[in-house]
Structure 1
Amino acid sequence: MSKEIDTLKAIAGNYKKRALQARKRFIDLRLQQDLDIRQLYIKLTKNISNELKKEGLSKFNKRKLQHMYSVLKRQESLLKGQLTINFEKYTKANVETATGYSKAIIINAVEKAGIRKIEKPVIEDMYFRVNERAVEAVWSRTKDGLYLSDTIWSKSAKYRENMTNIIQGAVAQGQDCVKTARALERYVLKGKRTLSEEYPGMMARMRSRVPEDISYEALRLARTEMTAAYGEATISAGMVSPSCNGIKFILSSSHPKPDICDDITGVDNYGLGTGVYPIDESPSYPFHPNCLCITTTVNEQPEQFVERLKRWTNKPMSEPSLEDWYQNIYKKIV
């Protein structure tokens, strides 16, 4: 078992089963989103190649080229819309996965303690609102002056540009429409290297104008933004959880060499443990694109939390932090 999973189990303690389930769900979502995005690029490229094949073995002329430019424009618009839908779906799923861990801890402890004045529907409503705010935060923040929706637009525009470059390269080589269609299909399925081997003249003209993997930039954006959504939700969940003592960041074993991740996950600046930060002092996460470092809440263990809840329900001021949570967080939902 990987070192980071061992660390996750250790920090989760008796919650390790739930923590591992959340991590597995996060990885499963990433893999499925990768597949969905790749399939989207394949589908749209197939739309383009089908239009080319309608022209048969004839070579390009001005009319055909102008028609293909309009086809490319339509596929760009479709890509923008479908990527937006995809990101909305997976942002919501990652947020719910992250907050579900903290929500389950509270509900389970309250039920074990037999406390009636904390009601399950209210807790569920509280986390529903947390989820809404976390999703909104993902779409509201900017990077380099761009909202996520703007960045999705730029990836869609880049797709059209890359497809245009390949078609123009085919025109310069005097290729017929069917051969060009096959080149597009090979490229989206196998990448630039295969295209260079099978169409050396065309690719020599384009050189660095076409990326190795047509969908890579969208995949990179998706991985980064979904990790950010998970992190945003983890921190937001910690803010409303009476059992959360901090946010833990665990180094991924996939790092080939030390980087910023080591600096953040390997220090104890607050006396809370290595890689643990106060909720309101948590670093920006993910630490870099494609980051696989783990983030999770650090929670009071179930036995202690249940006993504290029991003391609080009998004598509220004996547990001031719980009373503060009840008055200023829970009752505001009620």
Structure 2
Amino acid sequence: MNEYQRRVLEGRKEFLKLAQKQEKELLKIYEEAGRQVSYKLSKAKPGGITARYLSELDRSIDRYILELKANLSKSIKNGIEASSQIGSAVQLSYLDSIVPTQDIKTTFNKMFTQLPNNITKQLISGNYYSDGKTLDKRLWDITRKNARDIDTLIKVNVASGVNAKELARELEAYINPLNRIAPKTLEAGMSSKISYQSQRLARTSLTHANIETYIQGAKMNPFSKGLKWNLSPSHSERMQGKKDICDEYASQNSYELGIGVYPTNQYPLAHCNCLCYPTQENVDINKAEEELIAWVNGEDNPKLDKWLKDYGENYGIKKNKWKSFNGLVVSNQDNSGIIKEKELNELKDYKEPLARRHNLNFISKKSVAKDKNTIIMPSVDVHKDIEDIRKGLFKKIDDNFEVNGRVYGKHDGRFYPISGEHFITLNRNEYKLLIKLKTEFNNPRVMEFLKNMGSDEETISKLVDILKKGGIE
């Protein structure tokens, strides 16, 4: 198994973990949004239900719907981007393994780094689906349906003469998706599980984001032969031995590209709740590397010429700026990345950035704040960055090293992060506040402590967002 094949398997595991994480997150959103309604219900007095009580309950439900829609929108949008990032990183790992120079590597990185943002915009804007609905419009439809179902439950119970406490128990059973007690009142047309449609939308959005990333990524990869439809490992069990359209997709060879393989622009759109997934069918890594080197050194290649016209020049690659140097392909430009053997040998002795100071997961009370502090988010593969620097796959910027969209410096025998993707720079006070917030996140008085340390709401919100994006909640 080569590095790309290993990365494909890892990417699939990451996607499934993301789907599980979002499922739990959406249930929590419903639970937390329902607390205000539950609180209103808990204040109900024994006896009959008054008009005033119902009016106040309606206002609580209106606030519940607004909070629900806002939090669902944020969660699903973040999930879409994370799903696309997984697909983008997997495809980039193939290209990383064949590029001969840092300049070309940087170009591919730029192309695939921008991909998740573009895919997210496409899926939430309404341009992806034939009905033209935006993500927010779909969520509005779902949450209004939630409101109508809750209203139906209330009216049916009121009509049957239940008292306030009995209505409270019924509503609590319905609006809290973590409650294992099913409501007794489920009328025709009501969703039996209040969060089901949101979960369905979220799962489908994750899948479509992943698939569209593969489609667009395959178009940008000149060595892609097509996309293969892979049945999920649980497909047969979920179908209970029956077959559906997914089996047809996975077994066709209409395009004579191989079993289940489609031209990039013919890959089917997955149905709702589908867990099947695409993988790129690519030219063998060694052959692709040889072809790329030969082309950059002047050999005719119409396929790569077309790729250059369609994509390369938009990201700064121009074929006539390359030449052969001692059997390697290098740039004619200044600061081309030709690294002397002595410098590479020296770089091998430098250690990775100090985790307890820079890595978000390892920051603790022992971490030392300085005037400028760069945090490395957990999504960064620091080991790979440093290995690429040691291999000479970097662009030199003064005495610093640009690699994979990030810049590192070095001092005292160790690399350290400076700037770039998924690096966050904090001043001395912000870093101290982050340490306090991270190490006492579950302390109910932590916000009080932060304000006593001179923090304001904007800074606290910024730091909370950093921890959440790093998976620390």
User: Normalising TM by the smaller chain, what interval?
Assistant: 0.7 to 0.9
Report the AA paired with residue 281 of structure 1: Q
Aligned with residue 239 of structure 1, among 206, 209, 219: 219
What residue number does 1:55 align with?
44
Task: Give the distance between the partners of 2:9 and 2:102, measured in 1 at CA.
Answer: 30
Q: Deviations over 1:106-152 (max 9, x none)?
A: 12321xx3x355142x2222113322321122123344453322111
**Helix, strand or coil at the partner of 2:193:** coil
Bigger Cα Rg: 2
Amino acid at match of 1:118: I
Matched-pair contact (CA < 8 Å) for 1:90–1:226:
yes
In structure 1, what is the Cα distance between the partners aligned to 2:190 and 2:253? 45
Q: 1:150 aligns with which of 134, 137, 147?
A: 137
Q: Does 1:118 align with 2:101?
A: no
Q: Aligned match of 1:307 in 290, 307, 310? A: 290
1:278-293 equivalent positions in 2, closer than 5 A: 278-283=263-268, 285-286=269-270, 288-293=271-276
Cα gap change, 1:143 to 1:165, in 2 (>3 Å): farther
Q: Does 1:265 align with 2:285?
A: no
**Displacement of 1:194:** 2.7
In structure 1, give the amino acid aligned to 2:239.
H
CA distance 1:316–1:118, shift in 2 (3 Å)? farther
Moved more, 244-253 or 165-174: 165-174
Indicate the residue corresponding to 1:330 in structure 2: 312
Q: Distance in 2 between matches of 1:324 and 1:193?
A: 61
Equivalent residue for 2:57, pick from 57, 64, 68: 68
Asked whether the 8 Å contact 2:45–2:165 carries over to 1, the reply is yes
TM-fit CA distance, 1:57:
2.2
Distance 1:61 1:268, change over 3 A: same
The residue identity in structure 1 corresponding to 2:213 is: A
Question: Could you say what secondary structure the match of 1:194 adopts?
Answer: coil
State the distance in 1 between where 2:92 and 2:53 align: 58
Q: Deviations over 1:69-119 (max 9, x none)?
A: 111111111111111101110010011111111112112321xx3x35514
Structure 1 residue runs of 5 or longer lacking an equivalent are 1-8, 197-202
User: Given the alignment, which residue of 287, 297, 320 partners 2:302?
Assistant: 320
Query: How many Å separate the matches in 1 of 2:45 and 2:279?
Result: 56
1:208 maps to: 188
CA contact (8 A) 2:228 2:280 kept: yes
Q: CA deviation at 1:250?
A: 1.2
Matched residue SS, 1:208: coil
Structure 2: how far apart are the matches of 1:93 and 1:159? 27
1:195 and 2:150 matched: no
1:150 alignment partner, SS class: helix
In structure 2, distance between residues paired with 1:165 and 1:192: 21
For the pair 1:128 / 2:113, whether they are aligned, the reply is: yes
Return the structure number with greater helix share: 1
Q: Which has the higher strand share?
A: 2
Supply the distance in 2 between the matched residues of 1:316 and 1:184 (Cα, whole angstroms). 72
- Extract unaligned runs of 5+ from structure 2: 317-473
Identity of paired residues, percent? 26
Partner of 1:77: 66
- The residue type paired with residue 300 of structure 1 is V
Which secondary structure does the structure 1 equivalent of 2:274 belong to? Answer: coil
Q: 1:116–1:67: structure 2 CA closer, same or farther, 3 Å change rule?
A: closer
SS in 2 for 1:59: coil
Q: 1:228 to 1:258 in 2, by over 3 A?
A: same
Change (3 A) 1:93 1:129: same
Residue of structure 1 equivalent to 2:239: 255
Question: Equivalent residue for 1:164?
Answer: 151
TM-score by length of 1: 0.85
Structure with larger RCO (C-alpha < 8 A, sep 6+): 1
How far 1:275 moved relative to its partner?
Answer: 1.0
Q: TM-score, normalised by structure 2?
A: 0.61
- 1:175 corresponds in structure 2 to 162
